[in-house]
Amino acid sequence: MALYRPKSFVKLVLLGFCLVAFPLILGIVVATVAVDRLAERSQQAVYRAVVVTQGFRALYDQLLTMERHARQYQVLGDAELLDAYAAARARFRQTAANMANLPLAGAQQQQLQAMLAQEEAVSAALRQPPAAPQGQALSAFAALTETARQLLAESSDLVDREVAAMQAAASAAQRTLLWQAVGLVPGALLFTAIFVLLIARPIRQLDHAIRRLGEGDFASAIAIRGPRDLEQVGQRLDWLRRRLQELEAAKTKFLRNVSHELKTPLTAIREGVELLAEEVVGPLTAQQREIVHILRQKCVHLHKLIEDLLRFSVVQARQAVPALKPVPLHRVLEEVTVDHKPVLIAKKLHLEIAATETLVWGDDEKLRIVIDNLLSNAVKYTPDGGTIRISLQRRSDAAILDVVDSGPGIAPEDKERVFEAFYQSTPSPQGIISGSGLGLAIAKEYLAALNGRIEVLHDVPTGAHFRVVLPAQPA
- Is 380:344 a contact under the CB 8 Å cutoff? no
Rama region for 279: left / alpha / beta (φ>0; ψ in -120 to 50; rest): left
Residue 93 has pLDDT above 70, yes or no: yes
Tell me the per-residue pLDDT of 232-249, one tens digit each, with 9 for 90 and over: 787 888 888 888 878 877
| Helix or strand (DSSP H, E) at 457 | strand 453-457
CA separation for the pair 297, 293 (Å, rounded): 6
Compute the mean pLDDT over every residue in the chain, rounded to the nearest whole number.
Answer: 76
Tell me the per-residue pLDDT of 213-227, one tens digit each, with 9 for 90 and over: 777 677 778 887 777
Triad 448, 454, 459: Cα angle to 5°? 165
The residue-averaged pLDDT of 199-213 equals: 80
* CATH number of this structure's domain 228-314: 1.10.287.130
Q: In the CATH hierarchy, which top-level class contains the domain 322-471?
A: alpha beta
Tell me the per-residue pLDDT of 333-359, one tens digit each, with 9 for 90 and over: 998 888 888 888 888 889 898 888 888
| Helix or strand (DSSP H, E) at 373 | helix 364-381
Residue 2 has pLDDT above 70, yes or no: no
Residue 389's pLDDT band (cuts 50, 70, 90): very high
The residue-averaged pLDDT of 264-278 equals: 75
**pTM to 2 decimal places:** 0.46
pLDDT at residue number 417: 74
pLDDT at residue number 401: 92
On the 0-12 / 13-18 / 19+ scale of CB atoms within 10 A, 46 is middle
Amino acid at 416: E
The residue-averaged pLDDT of 273-279 equals: 77
Which of 2-11, 145-154, 437-446 is predicted least confidently? Answer: 2-11
Higher pLDDT, 353 or 3: 353
Domain ranges of the chain: 9-194, 228-314, 322-471
On the 0-12 / 13-18 / 19+ scale of CB atoms within 10 A, 74 is middle
On the 0-12 / 13-18 / 19+ scale of CB atoms within 10 A, 261 is exposed
